[in-house]
Structure 1
Amino acid sequence: MEQSLQYSVVNTLYVKALDLLKQLIQIKSFSKEEDKTAKLIGNFWEANNIPYSREQNNIWVTNRYFDVCKPTILFNSHHDTVKPNLSYTNDPFKAIERNGKLYGLGSNDAGGALVSLIATFLYFYYRSDLKYNIIMSATAEEEISGENGVSSILRHFGKLEFAIVGEPTDMKLAIAEKGLLVLDCVAKGTPSHAAHPNDDNAIYNAMEDIEWIKSYQFPKESPWLGKVKMTATSITSESVHNIVPDECRFTIDLYQDPYGGIPHRYLRIVQ
């Protein structure tokens, strides 16, 4: 009887989580543009008769029998997404089930983890015998390490024993992650007509910088996280074909060890 009851509860939560994930996929929620998904998640809590708090595009709830004398665990995942890649083969904003998998932008990072944590929170919400409190937070701006994400609301939670953060890790427990430093770079040059001699082409100058970034290895390596990783992620200049531009802009994502990762130390080396 108990096993049957538990299966029934879990199955109901699975259906709720899957339905919520499908709805999330169909809403554009790029970083800093998560208002509609925040509203959807708030409506979800209302439909389940659970009071919620919202600050900017961050939503959080606490278990019904929250006790300030008990330790608190934070469940957290994010509902913002990156923009879809140009080579995306499906409609990124359409939830498609195929061969037992759900496709759509944000289904993996981090919608699946988010709704799984929400389902877990619902499972424990009415328990009065828990030895700990649970806070469930769905937060914004994770993809850009934005200042209006989870870090902006931690002050509301008090002391936390630890957090369980939902991310696509192939079901493997991760206990650390690299910090992200985004470098917006500009290579300067001398503008001219493309037919004229010019040894100061901004695009070539940028290519030399990017080649250095590609080959450089930082001397220190984290025992947990490995090497510091620098990756060129975008490049742009004048769009006119017969003009040598005076500048070429490119972006570098630098993934650093958060324990030794003092941003200005990396900047000093790169500059």
Structure 2
Amino acid sequence: MVNRKESLDLLKKLISIKSNYFHEKEIMEYCYDWFKNNDMNISYHYYTDNKVTDFSGINIIGEMKGSEEGPVLLINGHLDTVEECTGWSKNPYIPLEEDGKLYGLGALDMKSGCAAAMIALREFKKNIMNFKGKIIYSFVSDEEGPYGLGTNFILNDGLINESDIAIVTEPSSGFLRMKEPVICLGARGGYGYSIKIYGKSSHAATPEYGINAVDEAGKLIVELSKAIPVYDEKLGHSSHCVIEIEGGGAACSVPDNAEVKIFRHIVRGENKNTIKKEIDEAAIRCGLKGRYEVIFREAPLENADGFMPYVVDEKLLEIEILKDSIKKITSKEAEIKYFSSIGDFNSIASKLNIPVIIYGASGDNFHGSDEAVDIKSFYETVEVLYDFLVKYLAIPK
């Protein structure tokens, strides 16, 4: 049986270390020392984005190699959090137990998943002398930032490319606001982009002599909202969200420029070309005046400007083993679901072309105030991960 108090103490320690994205050095050093103190293989991985963010970051990565040939399993998690939002009724950096929950920034997303993986990996190393294959474990920075730099640079540097399958311990139940155990077998993808609209300036008293770029932007936004979403039988519908509108001109003048920023969630079969076609068709339908251009955000690395959707085959052996472990530990059947948004799981699945399973704890308010993880669900996540590792990789005596 995994030591529950020790597991919760580790999670509390991780929550107490402030690690908003782009500020992960302290938590990386703590976790590096934790692995070293537990006699486990671990290394720092340093990276620098010179192209877009000018950010220099740190990941930690290690591995356990078995005595026989077998699958290479990747376990991945991010140690950063979003920025603190308003509305907290508790101190977000002082973990608080209350009514069966542990409150704190990152408690659910996803320091609970990282702590669960760390404890499960340590117990596996301590108790299992002979196993097949290899386990690679990576704990990364900047997943919550704009580009998922940590995992993308690990991929770019080829450090996890031998992986056959991956488990990302994001809060699958928490993502879907479910109390029951959930395995997510895929996720929608997405792209951030801007539409720049160029009009023609004139005096505000005679707007008919100009082309109001802000008005045209509004027409285009309305028409885009009428576009029929693409439906995927696993991932659901695609969607778009207007993030920001900017525009203007001189005082008492018709604005000659506007910019609309949009995040577009996509499903299988969609890509940058289908997004551009959707915009072109909307521009024609609304009779858009003036010139426009679609600009996808600049990427720090090749093929890192967006996130591709993916789906995992439900019939995989690993899914059956994980479901068995969940039933054994929780006495409940795991539900198979699909996540509606993006994360490092998209990058790993699309760039390595491997199955990526999302499994973690239940809880409330990820990316919101008073974020909390269900403590019982956290304990179960630790024990399920350990049981899965034993069932999947241990060589019977």
User: Normalising by structure 2, what TM-score?
Assistant: 0.55
Assess if the C-alpha contact under 8 Å between 1:28 and 1:93 holds in 2: no
Range with greater deviation from structure 2 (260-269 or 242-251): 242-251
Matched, 1:14 2:16: no
The residue matched to 1:42 in structure 2 has which SS? Answer: helix
* Cα offsets for 1:72-103 (capped at 9, x unmatched): 21111222333344x43347742342333233
Question: What amino acid sits opposite 1:255 in the alignment?
Answer: H
Rate the CA distance shift 1:247–1:149 in 2: closer, same or farther, 3 A.
same
Bigger drift between 174-183 and 160-169 goes to: 160-169
Write out aligned runs for 1:213-252 (5 A).
213-218=224-229, 220-237=230-247, 245-252=255-262
Alignment counterpart, residue 214 of structure 2, candidates 189, 203, 207: 203
Verify: 1:78 aligned to 2:50, yes or no. no
Conservation of the 8 A alpha-carbon contact between 1:17 and 1:118: no
Tell me which residue corresponds to 1:3: none
Residue equivalent to 2:93: 94
Instruction: Spell out the pairing of 1:58-73 with structure 2 (5 A cutoff).
Output: 58-63=59-64, 65-67=65-67, 69-73=69-73
Separation of aligned partners in 1, 2:134 and 2:247: 52
Paired position in structure 1 for 2:139: 138
Taking structure 1 as the reference length, what is the TM-score of the superposition?
0.77
Cα deviation for residue 67 of structure 1 reads 4.4
Q: What one-letter code is carried by the residue in structure 2 that aligns with 1:116?
A: A
From the superposition, tell whether residues 246 and 74 of structure 1 become closer, same or farther in structure 2 (CA, over 3 Å). Answer: same
Question: Residues 249 and 242 from structure 1, CA distance in 2 versus in 1: closer, same or farther, beyond 3 angstroms?
Answer: same
Contact 1:21-1:111 within 8 A present in 2 as well: yes
Range that drifts further, 174-183 or 15-24: 15-24
Write the distance in 2 (CA, Å) between the matches of 1:190 and 1:182: 27
Distance 2:110 2:250 in 1: 39
Give the gaps of 5 or more residues in structure 1.
Answer: 1-5
Structure 2 counterpart of 1:212: 223
Q: How far apart, CA to CA, are the structure 1 residues paired with 2:278 and 2:117?
A: 40
Higher relative contact order (CA 8 A, sep 6+): 2
Q: Shift of residue 174 of structure 1?
A: 0.8
Structure 1 residues 74 and 211: CA distance shift in structure 2, 3 A: same
Partner of 1:115: 115
- Pair 1:198–1:66, CA change in 2 (3 A): farther
Task: Kindly provide the CA deviation profile for residues 153-186 of structure 1, in whole angstroms up to 9, marking residues without a partner as x.
Answer: 2422353231111222214101111112111333
- Residue deviations 1:225-250, cap 9 Å, x none? 01111112233456999876543333
One-letter amino acid of the counterpart of residue 76, structure 1: N
Q: Are the counterparts in 1 of residues 67 and 132 from structure 2 also a CA contact under 8 Å?
A: no
- Cα deviation, residue 109, structure 1: 2.0
8 Å CA contact retained: 2:16, 2:95: no
The aligned residue for residue 20 of structure 2 is 29
C-alpha distance in structure 1 between counterparts of 2:263 and 2:91, whole Å: 24
Q: 1:20 touches 1:115 (CA, 8 Å); kept in 2?
A: no
| Cα 1:34–1:133 shift into 2, 3 Å | same
Change (3 A) 1:221 1:11: same
Residues 158-169 of structure 1 correspond to what in structure 2 (within 5 A)?
Answer: 158-169=161-172
Deviations 1:36-68 (A, max 9, x none): 4333322332333323122232211223x5447
Structure 2 counterpart of 1:214, one-letter code: S
Are 1:145 and 1:180, in contact at CA under 8 Å, matched by a contact in 2? no
Change (3 A) 1:29 1:192: farther
SS at match of 1:141: coil
Mark the CA change 1:72 to 1:96 in structure 2 (over 3 Å): closer, same or farther: same
CA distance in 2, matches of 1:250, 1:92: 36
- Find out whether 1:254 has 2:264 as its counterpart: yes
Count of matched residue pairs:
256
Structure 2: gaps (5+ residues): 47-57, 174-180, 281-397
Amino acid at match of 2:69: C
1:50 is matched with which residue? Answer: 40
Q: Percent identity?
A: 21
Question: How much is the aligned-residue C-alpha RMSD, in angstroms?
Answer: 3.2
- Structure 1 residues 159 and 239, CA, compared in 2 at 3 Å: closer, same or farther? same
- Cα distance in 2 for residues equivalent to 1:18 and 1:191: 57
